[in-house]
Amino acid sequence: MGLLESLRNSFSRRSDAGGSRANEDLFDDDFQRKLDYLAIVSRRVFAGRMRAERRTKKTGSGVEFADHREYQPGDDFRYLDWNVYQRFDKLLLRLFEEEEDLAIYFIVDASGSMAFGTGDKLRYAKRICAALAYVGLANLDRVCIVSTSDRVMMRMAETRGKARIFKVFRFLRELESAGTTDLGDALKTFVAQHKRRGLAVLISDLYDPQGFERGINVLRYNKFDPFVVHVVDKAEEKPKLFGDVLLYDCETGDEREVTVTPKVLSRFREEYEKYIHDIDRFCATRQVPYVRADVSVPFDELILRVFRRGGFLR
């Protein structure tokens, strides 16, 4: 690397701290082939369902059995399939279909921190969003996407039909990471703008200085069914830092002089794990489906896992 290039990089370090890959097409042919595959898988998961029927995650209110999903702490014991438990020694929850129209809202966190990390979290979030949206569209659900930071930044109007996936792609391509994170305020705006309740998929790194709980609670309190996809980057857990450094928050701009020692790094890791654990526990105790999406895992594998767990679509 030449001297001029290194100087330019050092001067521009604050502007592209995350190192985004804006020029690369997120939704190329290969991506779309994977989406078709996911759609097939999703149909198999939801076999027996009537086409164009609307589904909701309100288990128990319907009468027609739809599927099983794994038991998660906090689920209602009444829906456990004891027969399956007797035969396979597995705790599975019986899910019933309700003949109800379903709206799926994808809330993509596009704050500054989403551009951070080795794997580019925003890029990963876009792909998850696109995949899930495609599955939704393929199943004739209403899909709406909004991007947030400390407010609702962009909104894609509700749409239906598989052919609209390109509209989804166009919308997602235009998303750029910027601004600070305030999920509470942003989602208050979101619930005010969307009177029709439905599944609200929050795809975010949950780095909210006011607390990640606020945003999820806003969805819960306003009768949305929140589903949290927590995008994480392992590099954030183990930052490669040592010595005298000036830490710079890429969202807020806060600066802090720190001398990083192995002891400090160890404490940071403990704190990070505690933070992740807090999120996990919060969602579990409030029956909010929660999926941790590591950017190092291929997104299609993650999506399949979501289907397998059955917590997202039925």
Partner 1 sequence: MIFAGLGFAQLAAIFGIAGAAVVGLYVLRLRRRTVAIPFSPLWQRILKDKDATTLFSRLKRLLSLLLQLALLALLVFALGDPRAAATLVKGRTLVVLVDASASMQATDVSPNRLEVAKNEVKAMIRGLGGADRMLIAQMDAMVTPLGPMSGDTSELERALDQVKATDARADFPRALRFATDTLRNVELGEIVVVSDGNLGPALDASGPVHLGDDKLSFVSVGTGKRNVGITQFSVRRYPLDKSRYEVMLEVTNTGPEQQDIELSLLGDGNVVDLTKLRLMPGERLPRFYPNLSGASRTLEAKLGNVDGTHDNLPADDHAYALLPERRRAKVLVVSEGNTYLEAALLLDEYLEVTQVTPVDYVNKHGGGSGFDVVVFDRVTPATPPRAHALYLDPRGPGSPVKVEAELTSPGFDKIDRKHPIVRFTALDDVNVARGHKLVPDVAAGDKVVGSFGGTSPILVAGSRGAYKFVALGFDVRDSDLPLRVAWPLFLLNTVNFFTDEDARYISSFRTGDVWRVPVSTQATEATLALPGGATERVPVHEGRAVYLGERAGFYELTAGDTASTPEQPAPISGANKTAFAANLLDAEESTIAPVPELVVDGKTAGKVEGFHVGVRREIWIYLLLAAVLLTALEWATYHRRITV
Tell me the one-letter amino acid at 63.
V
Cα separation, 143 vs 296, whole angstroms: 27
Q: How far is CA 55 from the centre of its chain?
A: 20
Binding mask 237-266 for partner 1 (x = CB under 8 A): --x-x-xxxxxxxxxx-x-xxxx-x--x--
3-state secondary structure of 192: helix
**In the window 212-231, what residues touch partner 1 (CB under 8 A)?**
none
Quote the least distance from Cβ 278 to partner 1, whole Å. Answer: 12
Tell which positions 101-120 bind partner 1, by CB under 8 A.
112-113, 116-117
Rounded least distance, CB 8 to partner 1, Å: 15
Q: How many CB atoms lie within 10 A of CB 279?
A: 19
Taking the C-alpha atoms of residue 170 and residue 155, their distance in angstroms, rounded to an integer, is 12
Any idea which residue has 């942003």 for tokens?
186
- Taking the least distance from each CB to partner 1, the nearer of 108 and 143 is 108
Instruction: State the number of binding residues for partner 1 (CB under 8 A).
Output: 35
Structure tokens that stand for 144 in this block = 């709406």
Q: Are 103 and 141 in contact (CB under 8 A)?
A: yes
Q: Residues 58-77: x/- map of binding to partner 1 (CB under 8 A)?
A: --------------------
Among 60, 74, 161, 209, contact with partner 1 (rule: CB under 8 A)? 209
> To the nearest whole angstrom, how small is the minimum distance from the Cβ of residue 301 to partner 1?
24
Ramachandran category for residue 247: left, alpha or beta (phi over 0 → left; psi -120 to 50 → alpha): beta
Structure tokens at 265: 């790094």
Instruction: List the x/- string, 186-205, binding to partner 1 by CB under 8 A.
Output: -------------------x
In the bound complex, what is the minimum distance in angstroms from residue 37's beta carbon to partner 1?
A: 32
**Of 94 and 123, which CB lies nearer to partner 1 in the complex structure?**
123
Q: Does 184 bind partner 1 (CB under 8 A)?
A: no
The site map against partner 1 for 264-283 (x = CB under 8 A) is x--xx--xx--x--------
Restricted to residues 140-179, the positions that interact with partner 1 (CB under 8 A) are: none
C-beta of residue 117 within 8 angstroms of C-beta of residue 233? yes
| Total residues found in the chain within this entry | 314
Give the contacts of 276 (CB within 8 A, at least 6 positions apart).
Answer: 230, 232, 292
Nearer residue to partner 1 within complex by CB, 56 or 147: 147
Q: Which is nearer to partner 1, 35 or 108 (CB)?
A: 108
- Tell me how far, at minimum, the Cβ of 118 lies from partner 1, in Å: 12
C-alpha–C-alpha distance, residues 255 and 48, integer Å = 56
Q: How far is the CB of 244 from partner 1 (least distance, A)?
A: 5
CB 20 within 8 A of CB 117: no
Measured from the CB of residue 257, what is the shortest distance to partner 1 in angstroms? 6
Cα Rg, the chain, nearest whole Å: 21
- Contact call for residues 134 and 162 (beta carbons, < 8 A): yes
Binding of residue 207 to partner 1 (CB under 8 A): yes
Closest separation in Å from C-beta 206 to partner 1? 9
**Angle of CA points 26, 30, 32, to nearest 5°:** 75
Binding-site ranges for partner 1 (CB under 8 A): 13-14, 17, 112-113, 116-117, 205, 207, 209, 236, 239, 241, 243-252, 254, 256-259, 261, 264, 267-268, 271-272, 275
